[in-house]
Amino acid sequence: MRLLQILGVGCPKCEKLAANCEAAAKAAGVEYQLEKIKDIQKITAFGVMTTPALMIDGEVKVVGRVPTVEELKELIAEQE
């Protein structure tokens, strides 16, 4: 099971990233848990200064942008 963590305070881009991640994981047939981290201190503790950001299984993969569902599908699948 993949742990997908969305780092962001809840802006529209953060919500779009969360929706794209869910769509990508479902399309890739990957079991996942989606977690949203909105605490700015926790976000910066991961070394992220620009949101939205995506961590997959504890590793920062995307910062400051919203990738396409297709791009996310590849990122999520490559982790398996």
Any idea of the CA torsion for 21, 25, 26, 31, to the nearest 10 degrees? -130
Instruction: Give 48's pLDDT tier (boundaries 50, 70, 90).
Output: very high
What value does the mean pLDDT take over residues 27-37? 96
Domain span holding position 67: 2-78
Spatial contact of 25 and 54, defined as CB atoms under 8 Å apart: no
pLDDT of residue 78: 82
- Spell out the alpha helix ranges (H) of 1-80: 12-28, 40-45, 69-78
Residue 28 has pLDDT above 60, yes or no: yes
Residue 79 has pLDDT above 60, yes or no: no
pLDDT of residue 38: 97
Task: Count the domains in the chain.
Answer: 1
Residue 16 has pLDDT above 90, yes or no: yes
- Write the CATH number for 43: 3.40.30.10
Q: Which residues are catalytic?
A: 11, 14
